[in-house]
Structure 1
Amino acid sequence: MKLVWAQIKNFRSIKDSGKIYFNPNLTVLAGKNESGKSNILKALDCFSKNTFDRDSDYPIDYISEYPEVIVHFELEDNDLQNIKEFFTLNKNSSKKSNGVTITRTAESNEVINIEIFNDTLEYIVTETDKATAAINKELRTRYKTNIEAMTSASLVVIIREINSLLTAINNLDNEQINKISTILQDLDSYFDLLTKIHNFSVGAIFKETIPNFVYFSSFEDIIPDSISSNAEITPIVNRFFKVVNQDPSLLFGETSPQRRRLLTDRISKKVSGNFMGYYSQDSISLTINLDGNGINFFVYGLDNQKPFQPRQRSQGLQWFLSFYLTLEAEMKTGSILLIDEPGLYLHASAQEDLSIMLNDLSVNSPIVISTHSHWLMDPNRLERIRLVIKDNDSTYVENKIHKGADNNTMKPILSAIGLGLKNNISTFGKRVVLVEGYSDYYYLEAMRYYFNEILEIKLDNFKLYPCLGSAQIINVLTLIIDSETDYYILLDNDKAGQQTEKKLKNECGIDKSKILFTPAKSKIFSAIEGVFSEKDFKEIVLNSLETTKFDKVLVSKKFNERMHNKEITKLSDETVSNFKEILDVIGIPQVEQIESLSK
């Protein structure tokens, strides 16, 4: 099952969180201190344990309302195989009946709502009404019999009554008998299906596949200097051996010196290689050796000559190593990891390493973190961020980062994309592209990924900064115009964009080579949406929408998520060519001629 959204009610500071939509890989809950970020993670933890503590989890003003957590999952192919017979009836249905909603509360049993069953029941009711009407019509042509009153009875009663009625009728012709018999066979198959739904064991099929939420608030359990064969194995040591896929009892039981050395060398090489792929602060290696009935852990430095015990190294290294082992071990269980304020005491470059590790490991298993550190917010993946906001002592979540937040909440996000630290212009990077809004940001981030990863055309690095309207571009520009940062400005090809261009040239002296317009290719859109071919925009960009309501930012955000999840792997030559006009300037591809880009 894949986690889609959750909603939390009456839990601690949360009256109603609203639906919290999760990124398939890494979701970042961003908010200022005391906004309620931790309470969201703790509520999901209570959902997994199906236990709520009256003293700590109930709202402080509790009278009659009690904690409730609703989590919505999407069934994946292996889940659907177990219930495929329930959605083969209505082949023409346009509904995406692959969701399971689970509600768990503090004072009642859980409720599991399976969409496929709801749609199947709805279909059966409709078809049953049609069938009984058809039988009624056939019977009424020769007799005064009317069975419409039976439709309110259960299906089994209807079938029995109709069968009894038919046996008493000897004057129907063969054509009528065959027609009614066919209808009855359909009704009988519906009854069998209803019986299966009624007897369906959710626990037998689904409960084992419902992912667990695993909550971490700290990583104080660090690798020890040594363990002995008769000592209790701590959680972190257990995780260590889970990561290297080794049973410690087999190590202790091994008597051959050669075999012991072979096993410990293999374990040391595996854990050091994987860990050092993420930790760039120092060149180290983690090794173990067997000494009689004990296992010793050592950390070697760059020269690989001096063995240090783990406790002799910095707390930052100990924390990072513990964090890595915990993540890797829990990934193997298929759990969804909930991490509260990771890396809170790491310095900036170590937090960047941590961000890379979270990004990579979340591909294997979803991770949800809470943070107010901009170092843990990838400026190229702002669609992962959910704002946690506290209003009138009540916490709620805003899924759209472009609305609903005050300056304090937005500060780490602004810092992540290059604004907010006015005295540190270097956070913009070597090249920044100022765009009008978040929809421009999301579409261009998606297309940057498409060119880099799908078409394998590597673009030079640049940062995109959404200015929340063309009028704000000049304000942002003043922060970087005298710095060493190279910049470009992308404007919509409309009246407002043309007016902004005049101001930039006349009032700010900006060279026209720095000002770009979205290519005016579409008769419908003059903004960034018009860079897509009309067919691509209709059939690919808008294809995943679950509502007819057109929200520009929501559409672009969804497109960016689907692109990064590789749900979109093919765009038309027209779309690619249109975006290439922009990216040729701001991205400067490292190849001169690109032929058949979308092939």
Structure 2
Amino acid sequence: MKLLWAQIKNFRSIKDSGRIYFNPNLTILAGKNESGKSNILKALDCFSKDKFDKDNDFPIDYIEEYPEVVVHYELEEETIDYICDNFNLDKDSPSISKGVTLIRTAIYKEVIEVELYRDTIENVAVAIGTAISAINKEFKSKFKPNIEAITSNNLEEVIEEIKSCFINIKSNLNNEQLNKIQSIIDEIDSYIVSLTDFLSFINSDELKKTIPNFIYFSSFEDIIPNSISSDEEITPIVDRFFKVVNQDPDVLFEEANPQRRRFLTDKISAEISGDFMGYYSQDNIELKINLDGDELNFFVYGTDGQKPFQPRQRSQGLQWFLSFYLTLQAEMKTGSVLLIDEPGLYLHAAAQEDLLNMLNKLATSSPIVISTHSHWLMDPERLERIRLVLKNNDRTYVENKIHKGADNNTMKPILSAIGLGLKNNISTFGKNVILVEGYSDYYYLEAMRYYFSEMHEYKLDNFKIYPCLGSAQIINVLTLIIDSETDYYILLDNDKAGRQTEKKLITECGIDNSKILFTPAKSKAYSAIEGVFSEEDFNEIVLESLEKTKFDKVLVSKKFNERIHNKGITVLSDETVSNFKEIFDATGLLQISQIESISR
């Protein structure tokens, strides 16, 4: 299952969220307090439970408006193969669609739309049309199913309409005519059987297994106890502990052999400590369990490895982090989508960075969606993960483009994440920064930074890229860092506006022209940063099937960055690589890690 987007209507403060597009791994809902971030997560939780509470989830001013959550996802390849093999579809067809849309509301029966069955219905329509045209053209307009309006709720009616039309056609033909189109009749019969079987599949447990399961966490107050006894009810956090170490607690308690007991507890302790310390860098600790009769004790050992502490004797931050780690590790094994509301509120900055590291790693196994206003949880190299949660006239909605619609308070943590706190000097740019005109420049350069690092073993992690929202804003940003210790470069579009900005930077700000770079835009078809790609790469890889004349620059670049990071793109042309290398070379920030050149 690949979760693509969701849309929420009439849920608490949300009138219409608009489509919320999810990152394949980690999605960050960013917004200021009271913007409605939690309500988005709670709506998805209600979707999974298929239950909406009238007192809490309905909009305050509703009359005939009821909560509705729409989730759109793609089926896995094995499910597509199964459907195509069993329901008369060509899985190699370029038009094969993997999408499923599921609508759940507070009052109506859920609606499932599986896009694949549209192909079968269209095939039936074509076959019937062919039969009619071959025999009697006056019937041609009598069957024209409304493909766009078909859902799981009315598919049965569509099948009956097809059968009725088919019977009507055959009743108006003589034997000679019937024999002439016998092969088409057999084909239509086959499609009708497939559609009938497909209707059964839509209502089966097989399809229900593919529906995204959201698990919502609002707090992690359930922490590991100091000890539990064999006759004590297992709490959720202890149950998660045993899930993570893949151990049945009853088997552990029932083990009578002392040597075997010691072996099991040592094995569990080593496993949990080794994995946990891969995420927690704040202290060198060990987690151990000890089985004493019918009581299981939990201990945390410090750096000397000699002094055992009970979990509740350690800091609240460590207790929270351990609870969070166990919860995520245990639930990841279910393959669900985890919804986490404001994680790490009580952790200091370094611990929040550990938390982000954990989220990054675990999200490769199952998608995670978090809400936050902490800039420490926003990776400056992965801004494409961020979705802005905004409120207008007390109505919450989501903006997928972080450069659009946000006020200063909403943008503050994002600006801090990429190197600049506009108030109280929350953060700094660091040692090196490249100032670029806009977000599309940012996304393409971050994507190519990762591409060089992963595909060509170059080191490009010692600088930040900062989008200034237009060449005119570059001067404003420069005034904030020009007297700092930050070394900077400015990348401008190789066009008239870029040259005018260059002139202002030199004459009005006294910037040395060696600090000003231009995009080596060598493509005749595309200007600015897009022209750094070879025309073939931009048309065939970056744009994919998008219209070349009508596209949103930022969304295209954002999608490219996402695909690069998710290994959806692994090879670019020598021309493209050389052009981007020219930009990084000019800054002196491109360092060879293990190889001498990137030529292939």
After superposition, where does 1:67-146 map in structure 2 within 5 Å? 67-85=67-85, 89=89, 94-136=94-136
Map 1:369-448 to 2 at 5 A: 369-421=370-422, 423-424=424-425, 427-448=428-449
- Alignment of structure 1 residues 551-570 onto 2, 5 Å: 551-570=552-571
Q: Distance in 2 between matches of 1:525 and 1:147?
A: 50
CA contact (8 A) 2:543 2:556 kept: yes
Distance 1:151 1:339, change over 3 A: closer
CA distance in 2, matches of 1:416, 1:496: 28
The one-letter amino acid of 1:482's match is D
- 2:9 paired with 1:9: yes
1:171-206 per-position Cα deviation (integer Å, ceiling 9, x unaligned): x5xxx7764222222222222223223333433211
**CA contact 1:6–1:70 (8 Å) conserved in 2:** yes
Q: Per the alignment, do residues 154 and 394 of structure 1 end up closer, same or farther by CA in structure 2, a change over 3 Å counting?
A: closer
Q: Is the 8 A contact 2:102 2:113 kept in 1?
A: yes
SS of 2:125's equivalent?
A: helix
Match of 2:55 in 1: 55
1:522 aligns with 2:529: no
2:283 and 2:249 map into 1 onto residues whose CA distance is: 28
Secondary structure, aligned partner of 2:354? helix
Q: Which runs of 5+ in 2 are unaligned?
A: 145-159
* Alignment partner of 1:185 is 2:183: no
CA 1:546–1:267 in 2, change beyond 3 Å: closer, same or farther?
Answer: farther
State how far apart, in whole Å, the 1-side matches of 2:227 and 2:91 are.
62
Q: 1:68 to 1:459 in 2, by over 3 A?
A: same
Structure 1 equivalent of residue 148 of structure 2:
none
Q: Could you tell me how far apart the structure 1 residues matched to 2:570 and 2:283 are?
A: 38
Task: Provide the residue aligned with 1:65 in structure 2.
Answer: 65
Residue of structure 1 equivalent to 2:338: 337
Distance 1:331 1:191 in 2: 41
How far apart, in 1, do the equivalents of 2:576 and 2:431 lie?
Answer: 28
1: CA distance, partners of 2:277 / 2:181: 73
**Paired residue type of 2:249:** P
> 1:579 matched to which residue of 2?
580
- In structure 1, distance between residues paired with 2:491 and 2:429: 16
2:23 counterpart residue number: 23
Q: Name the CA shift for 1:348/1:93 in 2 (closer, same or farther; >3 Å).
A: same
> Which residue matches 2:222?
221
Deviation at 1:307, TM superposition (A): 0.1
User: 1:117-159: CA deviations, max 9, x gaps?
Assistant: 123213322331222221226xxxxxxxx75687489443454
The aligned counterpart of 2:147 is: none
Structure 2 partner of 1:496: 497
Which deviations, in whole Å up to 9, do the C-alpha atoms of 1:542-585 show, x marking residues without a partner? 00548973110010001001111110011011100110001223
Are positions 1:255 and 2:281 aligned together? no
Aligned to 2:36: 36
Structure 2 CA distance for partners of 1:332 and 1:184, relative to 1, 3 Å: same
Which residue of the partner structure matches residue 592 of structure 2? 590
Relative to structure 2, which stretch is displaced further, 192-201 or 347-356?
A: 192-201
Runs of 5+ consecutive residues of structure 1 not aligned to the other structure: 138-145
Contact 1:14 1:396 in 2 (8 A): yes
Residues 217-238 of structure 1: per-residue CA shift (max 9 Å, x gap): 0000000000110000100000
**Conserved 8 A contact 2:440-2:558:** yes
The CA deviation string for residues 38-71 of structure 1, in whole angstroms up to 9 with x for no partner, is: 0000000000000100000000001111100111
Q: Indicate which of 163, 174, 187 corresponds to 1:156.
A: 163
Which segment drifts farther, 284-293 or 110-119?
A: 110-119
8 Å CA contact retained: 2:457, 2:593: no
Quote the Cα distance in structure 1 between the aligned partners of 2:499 and 2:479: 19
Q: How far did residue 502 of structure 1 move?
A: 1.4
Q: Which amino acid aligns with 1:104?
A: R
* Corresponding residue number in structure 1 for 2:538: 537
In the alignment, residue 50 of structure 1 is paired with which amino acid?
D
For residue 197 of structure 2, what is the amino acid of its counterpart?
K
**For structure 1, which segment, 215-224 or 273-282, has the greater mean C-alpha deviation from structure 2 after superposition?**
273-282
Shift in Å at residue 474 of structure 1? Answer: 1.0
Q: Which residue matches 2:236?
A: 235
* Corresponding letter in the other structure for 2:37: K
**Conserved? CA contact 2:3–2:73, under 8 Å:** yes
Amino acid of the structure 2 residue aligned with 1:589: Q
- 2:100 counterpart letter in structure 1: V
Amino acid at match of 1:117: Y
Give the letter aligned to residue 163 of structure 2: V
- Residue 4 of structure 2 aligns with an amino acid whose one-letter code is V
**Superposed counterparts of 1:158-307, under 5 Å:** 158-160=165-167, 169=175, 172=176, 179-307=180-308
Distance 2:132 2:375 in 1: 64
Q: Distance in 1 between matches of 2:407 and 2:426?
A: 22
Q: Is the 8 A contact 1:460 1:590 kept in 2?
A: no
Q: Is the 8 A contact 1:223 1:237 kept in 2?
A: yes
State the secondary structure of the residue aligned to 1:214: strand
Letter in 2 for 1:193: S
Q: What is the one-letter code of the residue matched to 1:60?
A: I
How far has the Cα of 1:482 moved from its partner?
1.4
* CA-CA distance at 1:337 after TM superposition: 0.5
SS at match of 1:296: strand
Distance 2:271 2:392 in 1: 48
How far the C-alpha of 1:486 sits from its partner, in A, is: 1.2
2-structure distance, mates of 1:373, 1:402: 18
C-alpha separation in 2, matches of 1:259 and 1:584: 61
Contact residue 81 and residue 91 of structure 2 kept, 8 A: no
Q: SS at 2:451's partner residue? A: helix
Distance 1:246 1:77, change over 3 A: same
The letter of the residue matching 1:378 is D
Distance 1:340 1:105, change over 3 A: same
Instruction: Confirm or deny: 8 A CA contact 1:14 1:395 kept in the other structure.
Output: yes
Greater Cα shift, 537-546 or 285-294: 537-546
CA–CA distance in structure 1, aligned partners of residues 47 and 403 of structure 2: 30
Contact 1:131 1:187 survives alignment (8 Å):
no
Count of aligned positions? 584
Structure 1 residues 339 and 154: alpha-carbon distance in aligned structure 2, compared to 1, 3 A threshold: closer
Whole-Å separation in 2 of the counterparts to 1:255 and 1:328: 29
TM-score, normalised by the number of residues in structure 1:
0.93
Q: Are 2:26 and 2:368, in contact at CA under 8 Å, matched by a contact in 1? A: yes
Q: Match for 2:211: what amino acid?
A: I
Q: State whether residues 6 and 20 of structure 1, in contact with CA within 8 Å, keep that contact through their aligned partners in structure 2.
A: yes
Cα distance 1:209–1:565, how it changes in 2: closer, same or farther (>3 A)? same
Q: Give the C-alpha shift of residue 82 in structure 1.
A: 2.5
Contact 2:434 2:465 in 1 (8 A): yes
